[in-house]
A and B are shown apart, each in its own frame.
With several copies, the nearest count.
Chain A
Amino acid sequence: KDLQTFIENEQQKAKFQANVHSLTDLCWTKCITGKISSTTIDRSEESCLVNCVNRFIDSQKAIVGQLDVMGGRT
């Protein structure tokens, strides 16, 4: 691996980690709404988190797709 590849990998890793942090922030607020009593995440919280990630990406794709349809007039 040369330096160029190494740097690109690191940048991609940083972007991935930043996305995970902001998705966790958003989905925590949406899915973990009650009082903190148990140290573990229950079934319904877990499926909410997984759905939250997937619907957020769906939503992003829908918006980008719609922008393309509109001819990119931003």
Chain B
Amino acid sequence: MSTIAQQSNIENARTLIEKINEKCFEKCIPKPGGSLSSGESTCLTTCMQKYMQAWNVVSQAYITRIKSDPRGN
């Protein structure tokens, strides 16, 4: 049974990586050049940390809402 739970966690991490790459590639690399510039690399790291924070804020807000209003979603 722990295998199913693990797969679920892997799936969750995979989706998070995909979303971060989608959003941060768009924000940090508007015109892809011959290599990642150091500015682009820095932007990616910064953006990733920010996206994970946003993800945490959204999770917390969603949990709070569900708890205060169980039939609400």
Total inter-chain residue pairs, C-beta < 8 Å = 142
The count of chain A contact residues (Cβ–Cβ below 8 Å) is: 52
| Chain B interface main SS type | helix
By size class, the interface of chain B is: 35 or more
How far is A45 from B31 in the complex, measured between Cα atoms in Å?
11
| Chain A interface main SS type | helix
Contact of B17 among A27, A30, A63 (CB under 8 A): A63
A19 CB, nearest partner CB in chain B, Å: 7
A28 CB, nearest partner CB in chain B, Å: 5
How far is A52 from B27 in the complex, measured between Cα atoms in Å?
14
Give the interface of B toward A (CB within 8 A).
Answer: 1, 4-5, 8, 11-13, 15-17, 19-21, 23-25, 27-36, 40-41, 43-55, 57-59, 61-62, 65, 69, 72-73
